[in-house]
Amino acid sequence: MARGVNKVILVGNLGNDPEMKYTQGGMAICTLSLATTSVRKDKDGNTQERTEWHRVKLFGKLGEIAGEYLKKGRQVYIEGSIRYDKFTGQDGVEKYFTDIVADEMQMLGGGEGRGEARAERSERPQRSAPPRREVPAAAKADFADDFADDDIPF
C-alpha cells in the first residue's frame, strides 16, 4: 500500500563481489555495486561514456541468494525502489546516501558454470535461518518466517 510509484529497473555488471552483513536477528544484508553505462556522441562526433555506480541492497533470503551466487563482473537484473538516507557523522557533517532496495533479482547470461537464480522480496525482509547456510538457486517460494522489526534497517 502506498501513494505513488517508486520503481527502478537496472541491468548492469557487478564491480565487486557482494558484501554481506547480518543483523543481530540474523537477517542478511547484501550490498552490490552495479555499473550501468550510457553512451552518447558529443558535438565532435566523439563517443562519450558515463558510468553510474548503483549501490543495491538486498535483504533477507534475497540477499543470501545474491551473496551465494553473484560474483564480480557478473551481469544482473535488479528491480526495486530508490531510498534516500541522511546520516550525521561524529564530525557533525551530514552525509547522504542513495540506495536501490531490491525487490527482485535475476542473474543474466546463464551459461558455463554461472548458475541460475532469481528471487523476489516478500512484503518485508524475512528471517533467514542460520546465516550463510546453503541456499537453493531459485528462491522466493519459502519466504515465510517472521522478523523482529528492529532487524529491519528501514
Q: Which residue has the cell 565532435?
A: 44
Of 55 and 132, the one with the shorter C-beta distance to DNA is 55
Q: Which residues of 98-132 are buried (b: 16+ CB within 10 A; e: fewer)?
A: ebbbbbbbbbeeeeeeeeebbbbbbeebbbbeeee
DSSP 3-state of 40? strand
Task: State the nearest-atom distance from the C-beta of 93 to DNA, in Å.
Answer: 20
Q: Residue 88 burial (CB < 10 Å; 0-12/13-18/19+)?
A: exposed
- Write out the binding residues for a second copy, residues 41-100 only, by CB under 8 A: 41-44, 50, 52-54, 75, 77, 79, 81-84, 93, 95-98
Our finding on whether 41 is near DNA (CB under 7 A) is: no
Our finding on whether 14 is near DNA (CB under 7 A) is: yes
Our finding on whether 35 is near a second copy (CB under 8 A) is: yes
DSSP 3-state of 65? helix
Residues that bind a second copy (CB under 8 A): 1-13, 35-44, 50, 52-54, 75, 77, 79, 81-84, 93, 95-98, 106, 108-111, 116, 118-120, 123-124, 138-141, 146, 148-149, 154
